[in-house]
Each structure stands twice: as C-alpha cells, then as structure tokens.
Chains A and B, each alone.
Chain A
Amino acid sequence: MGVILAQVMVSGILLGGVYALISVGLTLIFGVLRVINFAHGEFLMIAMYASFWLFRLYGLDPYVSILLVVAFLFLVGLATEFLVIRPILNASASMQIAATVGLSILLQNLALVTMTANYRSVETRLSRAVVSVGPLMVGVSRLVAFLVALAITGILFLFLQRSYLGKAIRCTAQDRQAALLMGINTERVYLLTFAIGSALVGVAGALLTPLYPVFPTVGTYFVLAAFVVVVLGGLGNLTGALLGGFIIGLVEAFSGFYVPELKEAVYFVVFIIVLLIRPTGIFGVVGAEEVGLK
C-alpha cells in the first residue's frame, strides 16, 4: 500500500508540473494586463496541433520542434494582444471576459472545422518509456515535462527580477500610471507580456504532445484545471502558480485513486471553497480580488 500511495504521489507531482507550466503563462498575463485570458486553453491546443503537424509532416520530435512552436505561439500572442486584447483593456470585466470567451469559441471551432474532432497523438521513442526509481515507475515524458516546468519558471523568475524588461513588467503590474510616468512604454509591456505568456503555454503544449492526444477541445480540459491553479496560487503570483500546480496535481491524483468518477468534482469543490474562504488564493495578496480588477 505504501508503494502505491508513493506512486500516486509521484504521478500527482509530475502532473502538477504540467498544470504549473500552463498556469504560469495565464497568471503572468493576468498579473500585468488584469485580463483573464479564457482562450488560454485554445493556445495550448494550437501549440499541441503545431507540435503534432511538425512531427507528422517533417518528422520533427516534439522536443526538437519546441523552439518553433514557442516562436509560433509568441507570434500568436502578439497578434491576439494587438487585435483583441488592446481594444478592451479599459472595458468592464464583463466585456473583457466576453471577448476572450469569444476568442476561445472561435479558435476551438476553427480547429473543429479544419482538423475534425479526431484524436491525434504523437508516438515518439520516449512517449512510452519508463524509468524505475527504486520501486517507483516514472514516465520519461512526464519527468521531462516536470523538469522543464521547473526550469522555465525559474528562468522566468530570474528574467522578471534581473532584466530591464522584466523590471518594467513588474513595475507595470504594480502600478500602471506610475510605470507610465517613469517612462515605461506600458503598451509595449502589455504586448510583450501577453506574447511571453502565450509562448509559455507553447512550451506546455509541446511537452504535452507526446503524453496526451490532441483534439479541438483539449484546451478546455486543461485550462479549467489551470484556472483552479492560478486562483489557488493567487492570480498574478508565479511561485503561487507553481505550488498551486503541485497541489492540484496531488489532489487530482489522490482523488483519482480514491474516487475516480468524482475526480474533477473534487478539485472544483476545492476551488470553490478556496475562492469563498480566501479568494486571493493561498499565496495571493489580500484584497486583490476586489481591488485589482478595476
């Protein structure tokens, strides 16, 4: 029994790494632009399709094509910010949600029309490979996704702390007006932040392709968990997203073990309870849910 529970725990932590990677981009965008991108899951779907087609057409392993996918998602992010997000930055929260939900519907069904609803998956040499650590079995692709998630979050953290652009991004997140007065081109900060957040979900998509099949609504499946993660970690909080990812990964793994049919309900219930008791998330700043969204 002990071994089984340890195995469940390991798979929960590895799954959490994937959730964390998806959530980091979402939370970064929210922290700076104060817009929840409901189309974030569709960006994941686009990344997975890009990764799939590069494999199918050119035989590129998802781990090789990841750079292309990330660059592509960066461009998708730039275009989206420019066309959809920028015009609604000062609109009410309802209208912002409506616009990104519209984008989500548009992209999801565009995928349905062009790619059909078929599940497509990539089989690489590594996708089924397993290493054993003592009595525990660990899937190589999952391990890679987990390690890259940690590394990317670390790099992002350093980037935000050290680089000029990173400081400008943090400054804009703290106070738009003050940032503008300090000579920061906040419009460009928004543009780049959105693109970076999209590129991060591109990383996640490329890493998920060997693990999960891709289909038009795959984004919804992951992004609902990502919403739970970012709220749990405190919207806009990167370390919170990382830890929130692990918590939700563990919750999902254990509830999947004990009550498989109610697995998703469990983390939604956790989500509702967290929102009602401590809406700022476990690591968020108190009051953000009421003040930060003006």
Chain B
Amino acid sequence: MSTVRSRSILCSSIPVRSLGVLAAIAIVAAALAFLVHDKFYLHVLIMMLFYATASSAWNIVGGYAGQLSLGHAAFFGIGAYTSTLLFKDLGFSPWVGMLIGATLAAVVAGAIGYPSFRLRGPFFTLVTIAFAEVLRIVTLYAHDLTQGSMGISVPFRPALRNFVFRGLSNYAYVALAFMVITVLVSLWIENSRLGYYLAALREDEDAAHALGINTTRYKLVAVLVSAFFTAMAGTFYAQYIFFIEPFAIFSLDFSVLLAMMAIIGGIGTVWGPVAGAFLVAPLQEVLRAKLGGELEGLHLVVYGAVLIVVVILLPQGIVPSIAACWKRAFGQREPRPASLKDTAAQGGK
C-alpha cells in the first residue's frame, strides 16, 4: 500500500481507510456540536477535540521522532501569549496572531531543539522541562508586557475576525477543524518518507545514522511541525477560556498531560493521541465538575495510576493493543508490512 517510491520526503500516500475513519469522527463530532445544547457536554466535546489536537501535535516529536518532550507547554504558551498580546495591544486578528505565534514557536523550537537533539533519553526531557520553566519565569518577570501573574483577559468582542464566538458550538467546529488538520498532518507524516526516517531513528538512532539518514535534520522537521500546531492549540485555548496566566499556561502538568494522552492511546501512532484525548479529557472534565474542590486532585491520582499500568502492561498503548486483538480474533491479513514498532516491541520483550 504505502510503499515509498518517490524520492521526495514530501510525497505521501495516505490509506483511504484512515481518511474514512477521520471523516467518520469529524461527522460524529460535528453532529454532536450541532445537536447538543447542554453547555457542560459541549465543553467536554470541545476539550476532547482540543486535547486531541494538542496531543497529536506533541506526538509528532514525542511519538514519531521518539523525543520525549515534557516542555510543550512552552510552545503552547508562545502561541497563547503571542496571539493574545497582538490582539489586545495592537488589534491584530487572533487568526493572524495565531499564525505569527505558531511561526514564532516553530522558530524557538528549532533554536532550542537543534542543539539539544544530540542529548538522548532523560537528558533531552530535562532540557525541555527546564526550557518551559524558564519561559514561565520570564513571563512572570516581564509583567510590563505580560501582566505577570495577574494574567491577561482576552476581550470579549464576538466576531469571526476576532476568533470570539457567542455559541459554544462554534468553538467546537473550530476545535474540530484544528483536530482534522493535525490528524491529516500526522497521517501525511506517517505515510511519507519522513515518517519512515523518523521511525528508523526512533528505533535505533545509531543504525539510522549509519544508513545515511540525517537524523538531526528530520528530528528538527518534526519539532518544527509539532511546535507549530501546539502553538495553534495555545491560541485556541486563549480564545476559548478568555484568560491566560503563566502558571496555568506554562505548566509542567499540561506538558505531561499531552504526553500521557499519547502514551495511553498509543505513542507514535495517528490514532493513539486522539483515542487518549477522547478517553482522558472527558474523565478529567467530569471528575473535576463532580468532585470539584472537595477531592481536588483525585482525577490526577487516577491518571497517574492509569499511566503506570499502561506503561507496564500495554507499553504500546491502547489503540495498537486493540488492533492486535482485532487482528488475532479475525485473522485478517494486513497488506501492509509489519511496522518497525511491532517488531521492536516483540524483540524487546
């Protein structure tokens, strides 16, 4: 199916079945956004789509390239702050601000990613954590520009141009569009030469390098794309919540959450982050609303436990495990050759 004949890394043949799955998800989500009027359930739907976008974006560098970043809050924050400041102080449309913020995030990601890619495993992760922390502290410090810990409120002026809407369902449509774009990008990467390079360097960086893959260049491409879409999610968050402040935006917990959703669903797969977000986000919102202040943090206790159990028992995540069960149960022969991931998982056990 997806043999790689073309010489360009940009060429990609996305399987029709995957596009069908995406279309089905989009139709169901759009129908729900149209039919559901309850504010809370709409909010849950929006959060599911929002986290699916952000986690898919994280997955491009965290999953496909195998560079476990726990600093994506940095790119998220750059997106949120850039569009909000440009909107509030200079009157730029947040749509424009979003693209500027996303570009800025990609540039910053390249600047921090390029030198840190020679670090492996925990060392890379530690740099990403430190980087997000520095941005948070600097944002707090530069209170003339960012209003520090006071935070910034996004002015409520409903208009398409202002990325501000009256009805929640409009936000759901926008979030859905963002998710569809991010998933399409993931599908495109997975089925392109770039995706194969990334899979190779994730499984064995030295071997990939020895085979002539410029590992640094492709990791760089992955982090640029990942930061770009994470920043877009940041703008969406600011426009939807109407308030941003450094502790919520540049939080380690947010970075961990994105990684966690992808890992639970299936790291390095297209549908893993989506499934992870669809499972975890409703759990988070419902537990938060139901338990509220009384048992604050209980949902995080559950997350932590689930994350440990998934890592130990289903290290590939839920989606690949279900797919494997399905294959075993129905004996369907996959036309595609076994992915590197499957063989690695079998060999590693």
**A-to-B contact residues, CB < 8 Å:** 36, 84, 87-88, 90-99, 101-110, 112-113, 117, 216, 220, 224, 227-228, 231, 261-262, 264-265, 268-269, 271-272, 275-276, 279, 289-290, 293
Contacts and interface: CB of A to CB of B under 8 A. Distances in A.
Contacts of A227: 126, 129-130
Nearest to B299: A109
B131 interface: yes
Interface string B315-349: 10000000000000000000000000000000010
Contacts of A95: 263, 311, 315
What does DSSP make chain B's interface, helix, strand, loop or mixed? helix
Ordered nearest first, which 4 A-B pairs have the shortest CB separation?
Answer: A106-B304, A93-B121, A102-B307, A105-B304
Contact of A94 (B68, B129, B306): B68
Nearest to B138: A265
B181 interface: no
B159 interface: no
Interface of B: 62, 66, 68, 70, 115-116, 118-123, 125-127, 129-131, 133-134, 137-138, 140-141, 252-253, 256, 259-260, 263, 267, 295-298, 300-301, 303-308, 311-312, 315, 348
Contact of B304 (A94, A104, A276): A104
Nearest to B130: A268
18 contacts: A88-B311, A93-B121, A94-B263, A95-B311, A97-B70, A97-B125, A98-B259, A99-B308, A101-B307, A105-B303, A106-B304, A109-B300, A262-B137, A268-B133, A275-B116, A275-B130, A279-B123, A289-B119
B304 A109 contact: yes
A240 to B, nearest CB: 15
A112 B303 CA distance: 14
A103 B133 contact: no
A272 B130 contact: yes
Contacts of A264: 133, 137
A110 B300 CA distance: 8
Contacts of B297: 108-110, 112-113, 216
Contacts of A99: 307-308, 311-312
A265 B126 CA distance: 14
Contacts of A290: 118, 120
Contact of B123 (A87, A107, A231, A269): A231
A265 B250 CA distance: 13
Nearest to A261: B141
Contact of A276 (B70, B115, B120, B298): B115
Contacts of A271: 126-127, 130
B68 A97 contact: yes
A30 to B, nearest CB: 8
Contacts of A102: 260, 303-308, 311
A129 B138 CA distance: 35
